[in-house]
Structure 1
Amino acid sequence: MTHQYELMVILNPEIDERQVAPNLDKFLKVITADGGSIDNVDVWGKRRLAYEIQKKNEGIYAVVNFTATSAATQELDRQLKLSELVMRTKVLRAEEAIALVAAEAKRSEEKAARKAAAPKAAKA
């Protein structure tokens, strides 16, 4: 049974950005070989990291949406973790990714509401 997944990868910033897509394609062959499909590859480019990873302050971000079996997805994740080009990787089922984004948006709204209510409470 296939599911939709979202993969976020942070690649070593020392590789040429033109090499990002070809390098990702090598890993994504695991998905296509198993009968899955790559729906979208979005390379965000070099971004500053929130904290150092492998003594680096930057990384090249890429997000890939794909449809595959869980076995193919596990194999993709395993191969990505073995690669020296990959600094971090995270694979989520699309439903989980949507739920996480919704939960984060709700948390932000609640925080903003508390912030707005705090000055009023202090005046009373």
Structure 2
Amino acid sequence: MRAYELAIIIRPTVDDTRVAEVVEKVKQDVQSFNGQVTAEKMWGRRGLAYPIEKHREGIYVLFELNMPPDSLTQFEQNLKLSEEIIRYMLVKI
């Protein structure tokens, strides 16, 4: 297992209950790939450096997680398929 940091940006039009559902879905995806979330930080609504899909702000959430490297491709595919997540970045720590 390797340590990773995942930052996601959720559409600003998503309400608070749906944001909590998206965060929970990401946690479940990590666990389904034999990983574990070690930390979660809700940064909240912030402005974007440039527009993404015509949005000028987004809801930022940062995760620290441990996952096997061979499951990253499928995990990233799941992140891409989420309509609420407009951008993500996954880096090895």
Taking only aligned residues, the RMSD between alpha carbons, in angstroms, comes to 1.3
Partner of 1:75: 74
The range that moved more, 56-65 or 68-77, is 68-77
Partner of 1:25: 24
TM-score by length of 1: 0.69
Deviation sequence 1:1-45 (CA, Å, 0-9, x none): x10000010110011134323212213222212321110111101
Q: 1:42 to 1:36 in 2, by over 3 A?
A: same
Partner of 1:6: 5
More strand by share: 2
Partner of 1:93: 92
How does 1:97-112 map onto structure 2 within 5 Å? none
CA–CA distance in 1 between the matches of 2:38 and 2:63?
Answer: 8
CA–CA distance in 2 between the matches of 1:39 and 1:29?
Answer: 13
With a CA cutoff of 8 Å and minimum separation of 6, indicate the structure with the bigger relative contact order. 2
Gaps of at least 5 residues in structure 2 are none
TM-score by length of 2: 0.90
Partner of 1:47: 46
CA–CA distance in 1 between the matches of 2:33 and 2:83?
Answer: 24
Q: 1:31, 1:73 within 8 Å by CA — same for their partners in 2?
A: no
- The CA deviation at 1:46 is 0.5
The range that moved more, 75-84 or 14-23, is 14-23
Q: How many positions carry a matched residue from both structures? A: 93
**Aligned with 2:78: secondary structure?**
helix
Whichever residue aligns with residue 30 of structure 1, its letter is D
Gaps of at least 5 residues in structure 1 are 95-124
- Moved >6 Å (runs of 4+): none
CA–CA distance in 2 between the matches of 1:20 and 1:71?
Answer: 28
More helix by share: 1
